[in-house]
Amino acid sequence: MQDSILLTGGTGFIGSHTAVALAQAGYSFVILDNLSNSSSKVLDRLARLNASPLAFVNADVRDAQTLDKLFGEYKFSGVIHFAGLKAVGESVAQPLRYFDNNVNGTLQLLQAMQRAAVQKIVFSSSATVYGDPASVPIQESAPLTSTNPYGRSKLLCEDILRELFQADANWQIALLRYFNPVGAHISGLLGEAPNGVPNNLMPYVTQVASGQREFLQIFGNDYDTPDGTGVRDYLHVMDLAQGHVAALRALNAPKLLTVNLGTGQGVSVKQLVDAFARVNGVPIAHRYVARRAGDIAQCFADPTKAQELLNWKAQLGLDRMCADAWRWQSMNPQGFDTPL
Ligand code: NAD
Ligand code: UDP
């Protein structure tokens, strides 16, 4: 049996791009996803990109029987665990659903891994575990906190993985704290396809550009930032995907790695909107409105550890993120339902 990687949540936004990066790096993989926030049509796009999984399993990561069967069928050398719910507002309204899906899901997966003696996992954490940071750029040693059930679910999963490593130092664990992934695969075949009104900035911008939405609301222009709008660390989703390949390579021995994946560059809402309009030649109608509840002024990574520990550094700049996001939107007005 050939070694392969299990990708939970592999038909989602980051998982599908990581599938392409893994295939290019010569890994084979199986995708497990319950399609709660993605489309099976992603698989046709992966096939076009020569990144088909060995198998696609339409199942929930909390389904222990399916996991045991899968770990019996394949000799996985490791797991990349993307499966999770990620909408902050929804998590406030439905905390139990978020804790069950994200925390119980991770527990079920780890227990199945333990039963199968697979001890390598790359976990999707988030910069949200830093809460409202006291200073930027943020180092991994900054205090951890959470301000909503989504963030708390990520922090709890990190705690579980840290305790697991304390108990058994044979594990190989990477906690990857993503900053703000945006953009799409350069082919225009893969991208982000949110359900309903997008919560995140870039998908909202692309929908304004395409005429699906009238204007962008910029949430606050009175922050203590250079132009008053919120500052984030946007990184290209293909760079983030490469970060997972780098993490798998770095997990060549028992260890626990905790690493920020970001560019280290703070970009304001206004800068992103201006870059998008300039690069794509499409103006983005916008209005300044009140701050969004729970938002922080600025958040960007100190990416030094990623370079040192993973030999990873973001390569693609804001212009590429904007160009690729717009290509994806223009080529796929109905998301993955757009005929190929
Ligand atoms: P996504 O929603 O596009 O992908 C997640 C995938 O997991 C979806 O395909 C969904 O169907 C699947 N899924 C959810 N619950 C499942 C379950 N119980 N069993 C099986 N499959 C399940 O989200 P994404 O943006 O690709 O995010 C991937 C991971 O990265 C998530 O854990 C998310 O919390 C984390 N993350 C995302 C961001 C971001 O800005 N996109 C930032 C930081 C961390
Ligand atoms: N934002 C905005 N209008 C929108 C969506 C987001 O002005 O329609 C701003 C938001 O206030 C923040 C930045 O864009 O300053 C990034 O928001 P996003 O939700 O994408 O990421 P997060 O806040 O989770 O880092």
303/208 Cα distance (integer angstroms): 32
Segment 289-308, tens digit of pLDDT: 999 999 999 999 999 999 99
What's the average model confidence in pLDDT over 311-320? 98
Q: Is the Cα dihedral 244, 245, 248, 252 positive or negative?
A: negative
**Does residue 34 have its Cβ closer than 6 Å to ligand 1?**
yes
Could you confirm whether 150 is annotated as catalytic?
A: yes
318-331 and 269-280 are packed helices; what angle lies between their axes, rounded to 10 degrees? Answer: 60
Question: What pLDDT is attached to residue 293?
Answer: 92
Q: Measured from the CA of 63, which atom of ligand 1 is nearest?
A: 19
pLDDT of residue 336: 98
Pairing between β-strand 172-178 and β-strand 255-261 as defined by DSSP bridges: parallel
In the structure, how many helices (H) and strands (E) does the chain have? 12, 13
- Could you tell me what percent of the chain has a pLDDT over 70? 99
CB contact at 8 A, 269 and 200: no
1 has pLDDT over 60: no
Query: Span 97-114, mean pLDDT?
Result: 98
CA atoms of 334 and 121, how far apart (whole Å): 34
Helices (H), the chain: 13-24, 42-48, 64-73, 88-93, 95-98, 105-116, 149-167, 201-209, 237-250, 269-280, 304-305, 318-331
How does residue 2 score in pLDDT terms, banded at 50, 70 and 90? low
Q: What pLDDT does residue 10 have?
A: 98
Is the pLDDT confidence value at 112 over 60?
yes
Tell how far the Cα of 35 is from the centroid of ligand 1, in angstroms.
Answer: 10
Instruction: Give 221 Cα–ligand 1 centroid separation in angstroms.
Output: 30
Q: How confident is the model at residue 93 (pLDDT cuts 50, 70, 90)?
A: very high
**Coil, helix or strand at residue 49:** coil
**Marked catalytic residue, from 74, 130, 150, 204:** 150
What structural domains and CATH numbers belong to the chain?
A: 4-185+234-263+302-315 (3.40.50.720)
Instruction: Identify the sign of the CA torsion 20, 22, 27, 32.
Output: negative
Q: Look at ligand 1, atom 19, and give the residue with the nearest C-alpha.
A: 60
Residues in Cβ contact with 66 at an 8 Å cutoff, skipping those fewer than 6 apart: 32, 57, 59, 60
Say what the pLDDT of residue 170 is.
98
Q: What is the mean pLDDT of the chain?
A: 97
- What does the pLDDT look like over 204-246, one tens digit per residue? 999 999 999 999 999 999 999 999 999 999 999 999 999 999 9
Ligand 1: residue of 13, 40, 79 to mutate (most ligand atoms within 8 A of CB) is 13
Query: How far is 56 from 40, CA to CA, in rounded Å?
Result: 9
Q: pLDDT value at position 3?
A: 83
Is there an atom of ligand 1 within 6 Å of 178 CB? yes
Residue 257 CA, ligand 2 centroid: distance in Å: 28
Strands 267-268 and 231-232 come out as antiparallel
Find out whether the peptide bond into 198 is cis, omega within 30 degrees of 0: no
Best of 295, 298, 321 for a ligand 2 pocket test (most atoms within 8 Å of beta carbon): 295
Residues 6+ apart with CB under 8 A from 284: 205, 208, 209, 216, 273, 276, 277
